[in-house]
Copies of this chain bind each other. A is one copy, B any other.
Amino acid sequence: MTGERGVPPTTVGRLPRYLRALAGLGAQGVATASSRTLAAAAGVGPAQLRKDLSFLGSHGTRGVGYDVEHLSRRLTVALGLTSRRRVVIVGIGHLGHALANYSGFAGRDFTVVGLVDADPEVVGTTVAGLEVQPAERLARVVAEGAATIAVISTPADVAQDVCDTMVAAGVTGILNFAPRALRVPPAVDLRVVDLGSELQILAFHDRRKTELSS
C-alpha cells in the first residue's frame, strides 16, 4: 500500500499540471523550488499545491522547498507513467487524425497501438504510421494490442456501441470526444472532452458582457 490512497479527484486533475510545471523549471536549471514558485508556474495557489502534494506523502523539505528532480519522479510514479499505456483511437475523422498525431498522445508515456474507423474510404489508409482498421475488428485491435485506454472520436450515434465493445474487450479508461453522455461500468474511468459545450460556455459569459443593456 502506497501513500496515495484516496487522492481526491480534483487533486488528481492537477497533478499533470504540476508535473509539467516541474519540467519547465527543470529545463531552466532550477534544482529546488518553493511551493510559491512551483504554484505560480502551475497557475494555482501555494496552499493548494502543498495540500495536493501532501496526499502523495511528504516530499518537500521544510525551510527549503521541493527538489525538482525528486518531485518529478514522484509525480511520474503517482501518475502511472513509469510504463507506457497503450491507447486505441476510434473514429479517424479530422479530430481522430489530429489526436493520432498529437505529441502528448504518441509521446513518451503513451503508445497508440490501434486506429479504427467505420468508413471504407478511411480503412486501410496510414495515419501517424499506423494502418486504420475496420470497425469489425475493434474488439480484436483492443485485445491484441492489450490497450487499456481508448479515445472515442466517432459520431455521437455510434459512440455508446463502440464504448461497450471496448469495455468488453478490456479497456479500463475512456476519453470521450463524442457529444453524447456515455454509460460505463463503475470500474471504468470515463473522461469527457466536449468541444461544443466549451464554446457554448464561453458564449454564456460572452453574452453577459455584450448584453449589459438591461
Contact = CB atoms under 8 A, between A and B. Distances in A.
Interface of A: 1-2, 12-13, 15-17, 19-21, 41-43, 78-81, 85, 87, 93-95, 97-99, 101-102, 104-105, 107, 109-110, 148-149, 172-175, 179, 181, 183, 187, 189, 191, 193-211, 214
The 3 lowest CB-CB distance pairs between A and B, nearest first, are A80-B207, A104-B196, A43-B181
B191 A202 contact: yes
User: How many copies of this chain are found per oligomer?
Assistant: 2
A206 B80 contact: yes
Interface of A is mostly: helix
Contacts of A85: 199, 202-203, 206
Given A79-B200, A85-B199, 9 more contacts: A78-B204, A79-B204, A93-B98, A104-B195, A105-B199, A110-B203, A172-B209, A173-B205, A191-B198
A195 B79 contact: no
Contacts of A193: 193, 195, 198
Contact of A189 (B78, B87, B109, B206): B206
B209 A15 contact: no
